[in-house]
A = this chain, B = another copy of it.
Amino acid sequence: MTTEDAAELATVVARVRERIDPDPAERERLAAAAAALSERVREALADRPVTADVVQVGSTARGTWLAGDRDIDLFVRFPPELSRAELERFGLAVGREVLPDGHEEFAEHPYVKGEFEGFDVDLVPCYDVPAATDIRSAVDRTPFHNAYLLDRLDDDLAADVRVFKRFLKGIGAYGSDLRTKGFSGYLAELLVLEYGGFEPLVAAAADWHPPVERDPEDHGRRSFSDPLVVVDPTDPERNVAAVLSAENVARLQHYARELLADPREELFFPSERPPMTAEELRAQLDRRGTTPVAVAFDAPAVVEDQLYPQLEKSLEGVVSELDRREFEPLRATAFASETGDDADDGAPFDRAVLFVELGVDALPTIQRHDGPPVHVRQHATGFYEKYADADVYGPFLDGSRYVVEREREFTTPRAFLESDALFDVALGAQIEGQLEESYTVLVDGDVVALAEEFASELRAYFEPRP
């Protein structure tokens, strides 16, 4: 980078920081709320026959949250001698006392979620284990992560973490949920720490040759097959970037280069894309000349982290079968519409769609079927006798093999998708259940009906970006 480019990037970062740095008032409000909540927790614990403490964790504990984020995470650490049942009982009791209007949620074990002075509070019981390698549940690890980062992030690095997180959000690579498969907050913070700031991290990422391996504590003792490996400083057996997809690594690399080549705020705050209209969708289909097909069904009543892996598996199954059946899939995607309900109250998703664009709309009645080489006598004779009097073309010879041309099972994608053969592909378990109940197949112009419910997803699909 030239000095001029560096200055330009610094200017952009400064403008981004104006938009994402929490101001002193926000910091104070948050600190006060966290302190008041912690005090309430301590009071609730004092009445109970157990020794435990409370620790604030998460980005709001470390000054790495983006202005406007309203999450306060409090972990209540109980002695490891406690049974899991006792931990849950004490944890929920304390939670209900501190957040009387809260409700239970469930991760690896139940916790209480509620509102307090305008903040979204998670009150999570965990075990106070001696080291992150001794954890009994994934949540036990969080206080160690928190302590590690708190010790090392000064104000400048915390500011750079915020900038990097905003960048990841801007490019669509933030979040370790199984739909995004992007960078978790913890991973983002470790990377900024590891590379010494936002700009050196971005400059390094632009040049990465995956697999990229970083081990901040130099204590890793196993190998990983992931494109990015950041060995957890609190657990040598764990890759913090295990969920991160190769595509999101490439995405960071692409946008890192974009940012360095032409620094601009837009990469941090991309303009929202308008939903796609039915007319636009129709025009795209005309322009592309492909054969779009969709399998639409009621989404199973599961949370996003369960739904998307199942959608992905089902989509892969359908695409590979359409490919095997020579319909030449060009590109595919899956999406689901949110009901707007909370996961607790009802199904979070309404309709789900497996969408595949095909290169071929109809195939010949016949299909080539290669037999064995003629010299493999027993097998070859078996093949010949099987087909000699059958309603096929051949057997004839192609080189040293028998070949027949026999009737193709499905000559159109609709015929396949509407048949029971759809259930021979590997589908997500609960999606298979839903499809067994009912589903709709849309082909060609039919898919325009999707524009109403999936306008944003279709915009993203038909106007793809890195």
A residues with a Cβ closer than 8 A to B are 206-210, 227, 245-247, 249-251, 253-254, 257, 287-291, 326, 328, 330-331, 359-360, 363-366, 368, 373-375, 377, 381, 384, 393-402, 405, 411, 462-466
Complex Cα–Cα for A232 and B251 (A): 65
Nearest 3 A/B pairs, CB to CB: A396-B464, A289-B365, A250-B374
Q: Are B250 and A401 in contact (CB under 8 A)?
A: yes
Give Cα A396 to B247, complex, Å.
10
Known interface pairs A208-B375, A250-B399, A326-B328; 13 further A-B residue pairs with C-beta atoms within 8 A, sorted by A's residue number: A206-B377, A247-B399, A250-B401, A253-B375, A257-B381, A288-B366, A288-B393, A330-B364, A330-B366, A360-B360, A384-B466, A393-B463, A395-B466
Cross-chain contact A326 with B288 (CB below 8 angstroms): no
Q: How far is the CA of A377 from the CA of B359 in the complex (A)?
A: 31
List of B residues within 8 angstroms of A291 by Cβ: 364
In the complex, the answer to whether B375 meets A247 with C-beta atoms within 8 Å is no
Residue of B at shortest CB range from A465?
B396
Q: What is the minimal beta-carbon distance from A325 to any residue of chain B, in angstroms?
A: 11
* CB-defined contacts of A464 to chain B, threshold 8 Å: 393-394, 396
> With A and B bound together, what is the CA distance between A433 and B437 in angstroms?
63
Q: Given A326-B328, A400-B210, A364–B374 Cβ distance below 8 Å?
A: no
B466 A364 Cβ-Cβ under 8 A: no
Which residue of chain B is the closest to A396 with respect to CB atoms?
B464
Complex contact B366–A289 (CB within 8 A): yes
Contacts of A466 on B, CB cut-off 8 Å? Answer: 384, 394-397, 402
Complex interface: chain B residues within 8 A of A287 (CB): 365-366
Chain B residues with CB below 8 A from A411, complex form: 289
Contact of A405 among B330, B360, B398, B400 (CB under 8 A): B330
In whole angstroms, how far apart are the Cα atoms of A395 and B255 in the complex? Answer: 13
Neighbouring B residues of A208 by C-beta, 8 Å: 375
A247 CA to B245 CA, complexed, in Å = 49
Check A289–B250 contact: CB distance below 8 A.
Answer: no
Question: Chain B residue with minimal CB distance to A401?
Answer: B250
CB distance from A172 to the nearest CB of B (A): 10
Residues of B close to A381: CB separation below 8 A:
257
Find chain B residues with CB under 8 A from A288 CB. 364-366, 393, 405
Beta-carbon contact of B250 and A359 below 8 Å:
no
Residues of B within 8 A of A207 (CB): 377
Known: A399-B246, A400-B210, A464-B394. Is A374-B328 also a contact (CB below 8 A)? no
Query: How far, in whole Å, are A81 and B210 apart by their CA atoms in the complex?
Result: 73
Q: Give the complex CA separation of A208 and B374 in angstroms.
A: 9
Residues of B within 8 A of A330 (CB): 364, 366, 368, 405
A290-B411 Cα distance, complex, nearest whole Å: 11
Cα distance, A402 to B227, chains bound together (Å): 16
Find the B residue at minimum CB distance from A408: B289
Chain B residue contacts of A227, Cβ below 8 A: 400
Chain B residue with minimal CB distance to A208?
A: B375
Question: What are 25 A-B interface contacts by the 8 Å CB criterion?
Answer: A206-B377, A210-B375, A227-B400, A246-B400, A247-B399, A250-B373, A250-B374, A250-B375, A250-B400, A254-B397, A257-B381, A287-B365, A287-B366, A288-B364, A289-B365, A290-B365, A290-B366, A328-B360, A330-B366, A393-B462, A394-B465, A396-B464, A396-B465, A396-B466, A397-B466
Return the chain B residue nearest A404 by Cβ: B464
A394 to chain B: closest residue by CB: B464
Shortest beta-carbon distance, A79 to chain B, in Å? Answer: 46
Minimal Cβ-Cβ distance residue in B for A284: B393
Which residues of B sit under 8 angstroms from A463, Cβ to Cβ? Answer: 393
The answer to whether A253 touches B364, judged by C-beta atoms less than 8 angstroms apart, is: no
In the bound complex, how far is the Cα of B266 from the Cα of A158, in angstroms?
90
A318 to chain B, nearest CB (A): 17
Chain B: which residue is nearest A261 at the CB level? B381
With a cutoff of 8 Å between Cβ atoms, the chain B residues found around residue A397 in the complex are: 247, 250-251, 254, 466
A364 touches B359 (CB 8 A): yes
